[in-house]
Amino acid sequence: MADPGSGGALSPLELYNRVSEQGDKVRVLKMEKAPKDEIDAAVKLLLALKVDYKNATGEDYKPGSPPNNDTPNSNNGLPAAGDGDDFVDPWTVQTGSAKGVNYDKLIVRFGSSKIDKDLIDRIERVTGNKAHHFLRRGIFFSHRDMHQILDAVENKKPFYLYTGRGPSSEAMHVGHLIPFIFTKWLQEVFNVPLVVQMTDDEKYLWKDLTIEKAYQYTIENAKDIIACGFDVNKTFIFSDLEYMGTSSGFYKNVVRVQKHVTFNQVKGIFGFTDSDCIGKISFPAIQAAPSFSSSFPEIFNGRKDIQCLIPCAIDQDPYFRMTRDVAPRISYLKPALLHSTFFPALQGAQTKMSASDPNSSIFLTDTAKQIKNKINKHAFSGGKDTIEEHRKYGGNCEVDVCYMYLTFFLEDDEKLEKIKQDYTSGALLTGELKKILIETLQPMISAHQERRKHITEEVVKQFMTPRKLAFDF
């Protein structure tokens, strides 16, 4: 993903300046609400320049930190050894590979630990349950301190779950369900409290939304989350816009984190610049606060020694690296994490899906007919161009989006393996694979829609009212 200009020939300092200039251009375009394709092109160039900068210096671009050495690496602008051109932060995921992000490299880059067979076996022993298929298939693939959580369970010590949702649109897509499906399983097998943060404040700060619209999206998204089957007696869902103004425990923890993180640190972690509003700069402290049990005095009776486990997509990890760094300095326990892979867009695994592009995913509001049409028309195929070629050479499951979706939603391991063998050998055609996915998703989404119909504003209010849950602390 080299710069279309002369990126490979520029010195590190020149590249640094070009990245800075391009970042400013992107911000101006967004502020001026330029056409989406113009913004996308500018962002693509910015990402390419950042890759060039890393290839030239061996380090990620950090605003306000020019390169110490202005001598380029000797690889003449080629990708750094073993690094590829993946780019992952909390807002952008880009990869040049049709297979998607290289997660093994991401583990190394982020400094997390791979979820291996020993850990999965231990989870099964401790819970007495077969591991969720997200664990068995490597969909949740990385962790921080999961062994500590299992130690706590074995020693009869409590912990709680925390996950979240940034409500950027009225309708969620199937990819948004992944952390909630897994979190529900964790809550059931460990029997622990769950807090769900709705970051409507973040969406107001980052997107062209009014506060009222962001809160409205929170309520609509909460209905979809509740429809996953969470127990109101064990689950607290909260809006940042609403809860932070009523909870002294939560706001005190936000301020504690704010005091212990410098502007330079958040610039380095998140790439903020002098042009970003101060709300963005302080927001990471708000996402950090639910990691600490004293943020929820009604649930935990004021205790600050209950450890937290956070299931989330790997792009959210920068927030919690910061949180884990701060925790000991404010006398709190570090949160543990379980990271998931990204759910691929219908058009391929190169990017995350966009709620603003209706054809990039299957939405929870889609009809059976829309699901069928989207998959048949837009799902990226790993099959060959003709039936004859496909029968002879077989399909490629590593890039086929229908197969990828089935790894998430088809629970039967034997059936999934048979599909893989048949598709790879050419016995199963692309159209037949698409049909299997359609027949898997249609009843799942129909059932979700039926459950959601019965979730009233009153039910949402029950979940979102600060209260004691069915646990004694």
The tens digit of pLDDT for each residue in 254-269 reads 999 999 999 999 988 8
Confidence of residue 128 (pLDDT cuts 50, 70, 90): very high
- Which CATH superfamily includes the segment(s) 352-453? Tyrosyl-Transfer RNA Synthetase (1.10.240.10)
What is the predicted pLDDT for the residue at 271? 86
Confidence of residue 126 (pLDDT cuts 50, 70, 90): very high
Q: Are 128 and 110 in contact (CB under 8 A)?
A: no
What is the predicted pLDDT for the residue at 178? 94
The closest alpha carbon to 101, from 409, 420, 344, 299, belongs to 344
Query: Is the pLDDT reported for residue 93 higher than 80?
Result: no
Q: Which of the four CATH numbers 1.10.3720.10, 3.30.390.50, 2.30.42.10, 3.40.50.620 does domain 105-345 have?
A: 3.40.50.620
Query: Is the pLDDT reported for residue 80 higher than 50?
Result: no
What is the predicted pLDDT for the residue at 100? 73
Taking the domains of the chain in order of start, what are their residue ranges? 7-85, 105-345, 352-453
Of 74-78, 267-271, 417-421, the range with the highest mean pLDDT is: 417-421
Q: Mean pLDDT throughout 113-120?
A: 95
Confidence of residue 375 (pLDDT cuts 50, 70, 90): very high
Q: Which residues of 25-41 are buried (b: 16+ CB within 10 A; e: fewer)?
A: bbeebeeeeeeeeebee
Q: Give strand ranges (E) for 314-442.
A: 336-340, 344-345, 348-352
Q: Mean pLDDT throughout 391-396?
A: 91
The SS3 call for residue 34 is coil
Instruction: Tokens for 237, please give them.
Output: 């869902």
Q: Mean pLDDT throughout 370-396?
A: 92
Q: Mean pLDDT throughout 176-196?
A: 97
Query: Is the pLDDT reported for residue 79 higher than 50?
Result: no
What is the predicted pLDDT for the residue at 68? 74
Q: Which tens digit of pLDDT belongs to each residue from 439-462?
A: 999 999 999 999 999 999 999 999
The closest alpha carbon to 253, from 203, 308, 216, 191, belongs to 308
Confidence of residue 355 (pLDDT cuts 50, 70, 90): low
What does the alpha-carbon distance between residue 165 and residue 338 come to, in Å, rounded to a whole number? 16
Among 50-64, 182-196, 319-333, 400-414, the least confident range: 50-64
What is the predicted pLDDT for the residue at 418? 96
What does the alpha-carbon distance between residue 169 and residue 155 come to, in Å, rounded to a whole number? 42
Percent of the chain with pLDDT over 90: 65
Confidence of residue 94 (pLDDT cuts 50, 70, 90): low
What is the predicted pLDDT for the residue at 213? 96
Half-sphere exposure of 204 (CA within 13 A, CB side): 19
The CB density around residue 265, as the number of other CB atoms within 10 Å, is: 14
> What CA–CA distances, in Å, run from 112 to 102, 108, 142, 143, 146?
14, 7, 6, 6, 11
What does the alpha-carbon distance between residue 160 and residue 55 come to, in Å, rounded to a whole number? 41
Query: Is the pLDDT reported for residue 76 higher than 90?
Result: no
- Which CATH superfamily includes the segment(s) 7-85? S15/NS1, RNA-binding (1.10.287.10)
Distance of CA 393 to the CA centre of its chain: 35
Query: Is the pLDDT reported for residue 130 higher than 70?
Result: yes
Q: Which residues contact 217 (CB under 8 A, 6 or more apart)?
A: 167, 168, 169, 170, 200, 203, 209
What is the predicted pLDDT for the residue at 89? 66
